Structure 1
Amino acid sequence: MAPNTFRPVYHPAGRDKELGTALQDLRTGRWLAMRDLLAATTDWDLWTRRTQVLAAVAAGSDTVQAWRAEEPESSAAVVMHCRIVVERALRAHRDGHRRTQELWHEAWEACRLAAHRSPEDPVPWVCLLALARLDEGQRLEEHRTAPPGPMLFPGPWGLLAQADKRDPHNREAYHRMLQFLYARRTGSHLSEAVNFVQWASSSAPLGSPVKALPLYVRVERYRREMGHEKALDLHWVTDDAARDGRLALRDWFDAAPPQSHTLLDLGHLAHALWGSHQFAEAGRVFEALGPFWTTLPWTDRTPGPGDAGLAEELFLRARARCLAAARDAGTGTSA
């Protein structure tokens, strides 16, 4: 399809067609497709992703509550309830809602129940990690345990270890740890974030999405430094930035099964390679995205926060340039 007629698609399910079907039913208040989808999901990485996306849609309804009422012995329903109440607590915190503390306590109890009902499941521990960011002052002891290595920060390392025990290098667990770090009231967040992602990515096996974690810290630093306002922005063309892109391409993108790639990770990698002028390599990643896109990190390149229209145009220009470079280099197959 020609670049001037192509328009990218945003969908929370991405290429996961079965998840897309379950989401469609969920939006109409039906839970059977969700139940059947989760029953057929045996991989912890996929289970974590699917429950997260489902919860983001179900959090505004009582559909999972109806499922639990119909099937009170369902462990999957208990885990989904845990997901939903955590999502509600995080939204309340973000919006400054007066019930945040109450929802936080409810979510914590739901996580503990889910961990008891499904002891092999990493999701309850990932959810506890997500809740840890609400404790900005690290008042709870479990949120300020000693780190496992030098140059790291005190934090919920025990919770991360529990998630790691069940699903080593769980993608969401490490992203939740990074979000906790940004929410802390003390410390030098960006330098600590760099230390954390270097530690995490260096210990992750080839093909692990944790290998792409440094790309997120680079975007966060760019956002905090208001890089888009600088007349001459050299943030993305430094040797360090180019190296981050190359390493993520080699150690994650090329080493992992394509079906395991999340759209958000692909978007960050395409953005990093394009920004560091590695256009042909970026073209391969744009091809992997297919018809899809995510607004992040492209909105961080626009003057207006969250300007999806400008971000989409930037994405399209970058995509067209990189696909052309991939074709010229003989590594691309389509436009």
Structure 2
Amino acid sequence: MPTRDMPLIDHAAGSDAALYPVFEDLKLDRYREVKEVLAATGHDWQLRTFRSQVIALYAAHTAAIDYWYQEEPPTADSLLMWARVLTQRTFALQVPMSDPVVLKAAEQARRACHAAIHAFPKCPAARVCLLALAQFDADPRYKQNQEHWVPGPGGLPEGPWPLYWAVRQRDPENREAYQRLLQFFYARGAGAHNVAQWLATSAGECSNLHMVPLYALAEDFRQRRIRGASDFTYWTTQHAQRYAVMARDHWFAYLDAETRASPVLSMDLNLLAWVIDKSGVGGAGPVFEAIGPYATAMPWQTLNPHRSNWVDNFHKARNYALAEQHTSY
């Protein structure tokens, strides 16, 4: 059984060892390692989506991808990373989402996304960026792009459904796609829970769509804390417990050891462990074993009222879950 003092790794790359040399290269405004890791990723769409997203988080603060875009003939990989970086920089602007500066940056990022899509139509990652950028058109009073305001299936609210379906056609289990779809409705201020519940209802066995309601609940929980609303019993409601059990038994329980170890699932596993612990439904031991030392900021820091104590909270939840697992044998 892991000890309480096991060091935790909360880096965005998690267990993806191939990414760590990339970050060292980025610090020096170099892009060779980015080229190599993306080339090695090939057509593994989930890994390509994950790696390009994590790389962009760091590359957006460097000139590495700018140099790649400027110095070499465009390739599918360089165009994707250019789209990723411009998208990330748009979100990093410290001005209201309706500000002309933001809207101009978002449009520039969209053009980069379309160039990446043209270069590699089968890849879903640039379309995920377009789905993310739809948040800048989430105010129903000022609809800018019809593609963002299509009626949803089953009476669901209008949203960027064509972009979502385009990703799902290429990668049905693309986890960033459903997170970006939810973020559109968070930005709009309504509809996220209905969308999350519909997606979970449509999920089959072993589908990570069972995780979608947990992300919607987590965002609602975060917003409640910001407003100072009472959240003492939030996770122990029948509603929250039901979705915790569904994600545990109809998604996680079906994953083999190799899949559980994938860095792509790191945030999903951490959120599932958090919700199982907070809801009291039990059975988080195997989830913590799959997590290992790779804790993610969401949820342990994002949802923790005292961020300085997040490591202790992680250890406490993990030790309790592993002890529960041991006594059940």
Q: Decide: shared fold, TM above 0.5.
A: yes
Alignment of 1:36-55 (within 5 A): 36-41=36-41, 42-55=43-56
Given that residues 93 and 134 in structure 1 are in contact (C-alpha distance below 8 angstroms), is that contact kept between their aligned partners in structure 2? no
Given that residues 108 and 131 in structure 1 are in contact (C-alpha distance below 8 angstroms), is that contact kept between their aligned partners in structure 2? yes
Given that residues 295 and 308 in structure 1 are in contact (C-alpha distance below 8 angstroms), is that contact kept between their aligned partners in structure 2? no
Larger deviation, residues 105-114 vs 47-56: 105-114
Given that residues 245 and 269 in structure 1 are in contact (C-alpha distance below 8 angstroms), is that contact kept between their aligned partners in structure 2? yes
Q: What residue is the counterpart of 1:126 in the other structure?
A: 128
Q: What residue is the counterpart of 1:333 in the other structure?
A: none
Separation in structure 1 between the aligned mates of residue 13 and residue 165 of structure 2, nearest angstrom: 28
Q: How many Å apart are 1:69 and its aligned residue?
A: 3.3
| Residues 1:323 and 1:95: Cα distance change in structure 2 (over 3 Å) | farther
| Residues 1:231 and 1:106: Cα distance change in structure 2 (over 3 Å) | closer
Number of paired residues? 320
Alignment of 1:266-281 (within 5 A): 266-279=269-282, 281=283
Q: What residue is the counterpart of 1:322 in the other structure?
A: 321
SS of residue paired to 1:134: helix
Given that residues 224 and 231 in structure 2 are in contact (C-alpha distance below 8 angstroms), is that contact kept between their aligned partners in structure 1? no
Where does structure 1 differ by over 4 angstroms across 4 or more consecutive aligned residues? 1-4, 93-98, 227-232
Q: What residue is the counterpart of 1:65 in the other structure?
A: 66
Q: How many Å apart are 1:301 and its aligned residue?
A: 4.6
TM-score (norm 1): 0.88
2:148 aligned partner, one-letter code = H
Q: How many Å apart are 1:221 and its aligned residue?
A: 2.2
SS of residue paired to 2:235: coil
Q: How many Å apart are 1:224 and its aligned residue?
A: 2.7
Given that residues 56 and 88 in structure 2 are in contact (C-alpha distance below 8 angstroms), is that contact kept between their aligned partners in structure 1? yes
Separation in structure 2 between the aligned mates of residue 9 and residue 223 of structure 1, nearest angstrom: 23
Q: How many Å apart are 1:80 and its aligned residue?
A: 0.5
Given that residues 169 and 204 in structure 1 are in contact (C-alpha distance below 8 angstroms), is that contact kept between their aligned partners in structure 2? no
| Residues 1:168 and 1:94: Cα distance change in structure 2 (over 3 Å) | farther
Q: What residue is the counterpart of 2:102 in the other structure?
A: 100
Runs of 5+ consecutive residues of structure 1 not aligned to the other structure: 331-335
Q: What residue is the counterpart of 1:81 in the other structure?
A: 82
Given that residues 237 and 276 in structure 1 are in contact (C-alpha distance below 8 angstroms), is that contact kept between their aligned partners in structure 2? yes
SS of residue paired to 1:296: helix
| Residues 1:24 and 1:207: Cα distance change in structure 2 (over 3 Å) | farther
Runs of 5+ consecutive residues of structure 2 not aligned to the other structure: none
| Residues 1:110 and 1:230: Cα distance change in structure 2 (over 3 Å) | closer
Separation in structure 2 between the aligned mates of residue 315 and residue 12 of structure 1, nearest angstrom: 17
Deviations 1:238-296 (A, max 9, x none): 222222111111222122321345221111100111112234x1121111110121222
Is 1:199 the counterpart of 2:203 in the alignment?
no
Alignment of 1:155-234 (within 5 A): 155-184=159-188, 189=190, 192-226=191-225, 233-234=232-233
C-alpha RMSD over aligned residues:
2.3
SS of residue paired to 2:73: coil
Answer 1 or 2: higher relative contact order, Cα 8 Å, separation at least 6: 2
